[in-house]
């Protein structure tokens, strides 16, 4: 049980870091500074975090199936 909780916490941290990294890269590509109050930046953050979560899930499931 404890191992599952630790794994879950590591997973959430990985998702958060991946989402933030992708968000920063997307904003750099657009040439915008990171502004967390701007509605367009917030929408972009949600989309990029969703893509990051989906990518992480795909990799995690592939690792689980591989053994």
- Residue 48 has a pLDDT of 76
CA gap 13, 11 in Å, rounded: 5
CB atoms within 10 A of CB 23: 21
Which ranges constitute the DSSP H helices of 1-67?
A: 2-30, 39-66
- Residue 1 has a pLDDT of 43
CA gap 18, 51 in Å, rounded: 10
Q: Are 19 and 49 in contact (CB under 8 A)?
A: yes
- Residue 10 has a pLDDT of 67
Sequential pLDDT tens for the chain (67 residues) = 445 545 566 677 777 777 777 777 777 777 766 666 677 777 777 777 778 778 878 887 888 887 6
- Residue 67 has a pLDDT of 65
């Amino acid at each position: 049980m404890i191992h599952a909780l630790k794994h879950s916490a590591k997973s959430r941290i990985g998702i958060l870091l991946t989402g933030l990294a992708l968000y920063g890269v997307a904003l750099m590509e657009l040439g915008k500074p990171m502004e967390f109050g701007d509605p367009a930046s917030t929408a972009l953050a949600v989309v990029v975090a969703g893509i990051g979560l989906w990518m992480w899930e795909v990799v995690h499931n592939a690792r689980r199936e591989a053994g």
